C-alpha cells in the first residue's frame, strides 16, 4: 500500500512539472463569445458585440476610502456619474473627460405573450 501511495505521489509531481511550463506559455486571457484567443499583445481581451464592460460603481466617499489605490485604477462614481482614474504620481483621483456626444438606446418592447423583446422601430434593414 505504501508503494502505491508513493507511486501516485510521484506521478502527481511529474504531471505538475510537465503541465506548468505549458500553462506559463499562455499570452493572455480572452473573454468572448466566439472562443478566440486573446491578442498576443493583450494581457486581457474582452470582445463582445452585445455587451459592455462594467467597472465598479461607488459613491465618492467609497472611492476616497480605497486604501493605496493602484496607479490607473478606474471606478465609476455614482455621486456625479463620472469615471475616475487614480494617478499615483499626483496622489489624486482624476475625472476621465469624454466628449459631448451621446448614444441613445433604441427603446425595446417586451411581449409577455411570446416572451420576446422587440425594437419599437424599423432600423432600415432590408
- In words, the CATH class of domain 54-120 is alpha beta
SS3 call for 64? helix
Helix (H) or strand (E) holding 25: none
Q: What's residue 95's pLDDT?
A: 94
Residue 45 has pLDDT above 60, yes or no: yes
Say how far apart CA 5 and CA 20 lie, in whole Å: 22
| Selection from 59, 34, 58, 56 nearest residue 47 by Cα | 34
Q: Where in the chain are all domains bearing CATH 3.40.1620?
A: 54-120
- Write down the pTM of the prediction: 0.59
CA 31, distance to chain mean position in Å, is 8
Nearest to residue 32, comparing CAs of 46, 19, 12? 46
Indicate whether 24 pLDDT > 60.
no
**44 three-class SS:** strand
Percent of the chain whose predicted confidence (pLDDT) is above 90: 45
Amino acid at each position: 500500500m505504501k508503494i502505491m501511495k508513493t507511486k501516485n505521489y510521484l506521478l502527481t509531481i511529474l504531471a505538475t512539472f510537465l503541465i506548468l511550463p505549458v500553462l506559463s506559455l499562455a499570452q493572455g486571457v480572452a473573454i468572448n463569445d466566439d472562443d478566440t484567443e486573446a491578442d498576443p499583445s493583450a494581457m486581457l481581451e474582452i470582445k463582445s458585440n452585445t455587451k459592455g464592460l462594467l467597472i465598479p460603481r461607488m459613491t465618492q466617499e467609497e472611492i476616497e476610502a480605497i486604501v493605496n489605490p493602484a496607479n490607473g485604477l478606474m471606478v465609476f462614481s455614482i455621486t456625479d456619474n463620472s469615471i475616475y482614474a487614480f494617478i499615483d504620481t499626483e496622489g489624486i483621483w482624476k475625472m476621465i473627460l469624454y466628449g459631448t456626444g451621446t448614444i441613445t438606446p433604441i427603446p425595446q418592447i417586451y411581449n409577455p405573450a411570446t416572451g420576446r423583446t422587440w425594437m419599437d422601430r424599423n432600423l432600415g434593414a432590408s
